[in-house]
């Protein structure tokens, strides 16, 4: 079991490398952006990017997820290629038609969201970016299905670095503001699209199967309503802030949300990318349910620690990185970070519905959570602004794992380690509450750096508290000692060893796919 969990961890780390590079670079760009963009500019950018995210659900039609199931149904390489090429051809055709339609309607989008025709070009560039990212998505899904996280990370990191580099030039040198960021993102997406386009065509060909398409659509289309509902959960608050609050409040919320979203980029996102193929691959193993259970425990352990670090250090980090008019953004970070921990838990505990092909049953629960989100946003945003939006997000995201757990257990019962999960939550709460006493020392020392150092020391008590709570099991302590002891020698062997294909590897079986 530990070997399989180690493989999942390795893939999660590698999948995350590309995102980490972009997040780190983006993090250090905050001082630049906050000097060239106003909070209102941040709000405008957020509306544009939110629109792109919502429409991407419609463009993909759930086929990136459906590709995994169809891909792993076959051992025959030719049938796997047919699955990939069918999904690629269909999505390319459908997304092209939708893109042309949206470009023609760009003026309507500009008038709807900004009550002006000034942003027509902005929306047209967003729609072109959407076409490219749809193609990129199917290409990256193939790499995930083949469990090639290194190549995945290289491509995503390259796209991010290109986009960020161009953003710097367009914003700081040419002073193109929000438009420059959109232009840089489009060029980065186009680069990855052309690269993956050549790869998919050369390896999978241009074969097409109506039967495979019907099967994938049957699996993927029921996920579209759930996907749209997820967009409502994670993105609708921007629209409420746009119409019920002020552009400045939206800009502050957007910056704080980006900090809270770090947990998604560093952990939740890479984990979900690795977990989908991993969970299908071990489905037939005798100890599969034990592994699924332990995955939740370890996911909560790591994600809660990351969320704790973000929550405790948020005020000091934003004070150091951003200009004074953005400092209030720190207030929403703890709520957003916890929301995405809950989203990761939702992904883990709903594994039974994925394995048993019951994805259509998830939609009503996700839609219900979306309705909860809309209701609380309506009630809270007009009175509490960005804090109301953050609170509504946390409440709605809590509905997701609870409801999906109850549903999934009906079809694939798993005994999760809820006692250990509770201990993690108690340790989180104790340290977070204690951090407020440390924050009060700022009035004495007048240094965010010194306060931040004290908070870092407080974070180090997290594993100690868990030890006092008897969280760790004997075999985990033993395995950890073995890994620490063998670590240097293992790394040396990995660095010096020449890559050799195993007899059962997919690359050996079919060099084209």
**φ and ψ of 139, to 5 deg:** -65, -40
Q: What is the pTM of this model?
A: 0.73
- Environment class of residue 33 by beta-carbon count within 10 Å: exposed (0-12), middle (13-18) or buried (19+)? buried
**pLDDT for position 504:** 39
pLDDT at residue 508 greater than cutoff 70: no
The predicted model gives 175-189 an average pLDDT of: 94
Q: What is the pLDDT of residues 12-32, one digit of tens each?
A: 555 555 556 656 666 667 777
What per-residue confidence (pLDDT) applies to 228?
83
Q: Which two tokens stand for residue 421?
A: 């999960």
Contact 66, 216 (CB under 8 A): yes
Q: Residue 500: its pLDDT value, please?
A: 41
- Of the given ranges (205-219, 231-245, 447-461, 481-495), which has the lowest mean pLDDT? 481-495
Does residue 38 sit in helix, strand or coil?
coil
| The pLDDT of residue 83 is above 60 | yes
Q: How many helices (H) and strands (E) does the chain have?
A: 24, 0
Torsion angles phi and psi, residue 501, rounded to 5:
-75, 135
CA dihedral over 275, 229, 310, 151, signed as positive or negative: positive
Contacts (Cβ under 8 Å, ≥6 apart) of 418: none
* In contact, 415 and 278? CB cutoff 8 Å: no
**Burial label, 112 (beta-carbon count in 10 A; 0-12, 13-18, 19+):** exposed
> What is the average pLDDT score of the chain?
84
User: Given phi > 0 = left and psi -120 to 50 = alpha, else beta, which region is 322?
Assistant: beta
pLDDT of residue 22: 59
Distance, CA of 129 to CA of 59 (rounded, Å): 12
pLDDT value at position 506? 41
pLDDT tens string 275-305 = 877 787 787 788 888 888 999 999 999 999 9
The DSSP 8-state label assigned to residue 266 in this structure reads I
Q: What is the pLDDT of residue 507?
A: 40
* The predicted structure's pLDDT at residue 98: 95
Q: How far is CA 41 from CA 68, 91, 127, 265, in A?
A: 39, 33, 20, 23
Residue 442 in tokens: 């700022």
């Amino acid at each position: 079991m530990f070997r399989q969990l180690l493989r999942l961890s390795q893939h999660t780390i590698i999948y995350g490398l590309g995102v980490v590079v972009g997040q780190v670079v983006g993090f250090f760009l905050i001082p630049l952006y906050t000097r060239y963009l106003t909070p209102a500019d941040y709000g405008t950018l957020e509306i544009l990017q939110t629109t792109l995210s919502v429409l991407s659900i419609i463009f993909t039609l759930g086929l990136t997820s459906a590709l995994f199931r169809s891909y792993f149904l076959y051992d025959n390489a030719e049938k796997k290629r047919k699955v990939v090429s069918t999904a690629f051809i269909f999505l390319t055709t459908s997304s092209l038609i939708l893109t042309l339609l949206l470009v023609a309607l760009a003026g309507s989008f500009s008038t709807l969201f900004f009550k002006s025709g000034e942003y027509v070009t902005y929306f047209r560039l967003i729609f072109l970016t959407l076409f490219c990212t749809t193609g990129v998505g199917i290409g990256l899904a193939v790499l995930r299905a083949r469990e090639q996280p290194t190549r995945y990370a290289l491509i995503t990191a390259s796209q991010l670095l290109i986009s960020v580099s161009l953003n710097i030039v367009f914003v700081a040198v040419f002073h193109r503001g929000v438009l420059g960021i959109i232009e840089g993102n489009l060029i980065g997406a186009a680069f990855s699209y052309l690269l993956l386009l050549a790869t998919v065509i050369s390896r999978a060909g241009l074969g097409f199967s109506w039967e495979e398409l019907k099967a994938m659509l049957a699996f993927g289309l029921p996920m579209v309503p759930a996907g749209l509902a997820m967009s409502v959960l994670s993105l609708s608050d921007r629209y409420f802030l746009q119409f019920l609050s002020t552009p400045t409040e939206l800009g502050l919320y957007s910056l704080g949300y980006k900090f809270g979203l770090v947990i998604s980029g560093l952990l939740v996102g890479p984990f979900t990318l690795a977990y989908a193929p991993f969970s299908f691959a071990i489905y037939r193993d005798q100890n599969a349910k034990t592994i699924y259970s332990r995955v939740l425990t370890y996911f909560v352990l790591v994600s809660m620690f990351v969320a704790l670090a973000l929550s405790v250090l948020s005020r000091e980090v934003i004070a150091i990185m951003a200009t004074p008019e953005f400092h209030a953004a720190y207030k929403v970070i703890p709520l957003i970070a916890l929301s995405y921990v809950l989203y990761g838990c939702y992904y883990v505990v709903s594994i039974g519905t994925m394995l048993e092909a019951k994805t259509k049953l998830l939609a009503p629960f996700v839609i219900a959570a979306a309705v909860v989100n809309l209701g609380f946003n309506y009630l809270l945003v007009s009175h509490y602004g960005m804090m109301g939006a953050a609170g509504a997000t946390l409440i709605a995201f809590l509905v997701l794992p609870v409801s999906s757990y109850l549903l999934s257990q009906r079809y694939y019962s798993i005994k999760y380690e809820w006692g250990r999960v509770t201990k993690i939550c108690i340790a989180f709460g104790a340290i977070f509450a204690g951090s407020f006493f440390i924050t009060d020392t700022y009035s004495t020392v007048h240094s965010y750096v010194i306060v931040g150092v004290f908070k870092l020391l407080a974070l180090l008590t997290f594993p100690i508290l868990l030890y006092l709570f008897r969280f760790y099991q004997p075999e985990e302590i033993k395995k950890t000692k073995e890994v620490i002891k063998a670590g240097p020698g293992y790394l040396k062997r990995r660095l010096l060893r020449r890559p050799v294909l195993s007899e059962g590897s997919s690359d050996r079986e079919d060099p084209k796919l």
